[in-house]
Amino acid sequence: MTPRDLTAMAVFAVFAAGPAAAQTVVSTGVVVRGVTVPGAGVPGMKVPGRTCDFSGEETYPNGRMTGASVQCRAGGNLANTIPGLPQRFNAYCVIDASTLKGAPRLITAPIPGDANHCDLSGITPKDATGRFGGAIWR
């Protein structure tokens, strides 16, 4: 087999596999950010003094995040958006996607085992932390 044959086979394999999952902008429904906190609490109750901190997220030179992991689903509610959130998170913060108007960008970014995985970008870690507010026990 020649290098040209191998290249042709590789190109065919890419097209035969079909398109990758499309990333779409989400502007409705809830946005959930998981957090791990020490201890345990009553599900649905606030975790005293805890927020969902975005300070460790990668940023562009302008200080805005490149893409923080969150859960979202267009038109989704907590019950149909939180599945797929890794079990290591015993708490979460939640906001309405409609509050992210302006510079922030929220897009679907499904990963294996989590169809509701999304990326939040174009917002500073400080602003994201402030918008998501306090954590709630899972």
Average pLDDT estimate for 94-113: 91
Domain containing 132: what range? 23-137
pLDDT, one tens digit per residue, over 66-96 is 999 999 999 999 999 998 899 999 999 999 9
Identify whether 39 is part of a domain: yes
CB 121 within 8 A of CB 67: yes
Q: What is the pTM of this model?
A: 0.81
- Structural domains of the chain, count: 1
Identify whether 112 is part of a domain: yes
Identify whether 3 is part of a domain: no
Identify whether 51 is part of a domain: yes
Identify whether 109 is part of a domain: yes
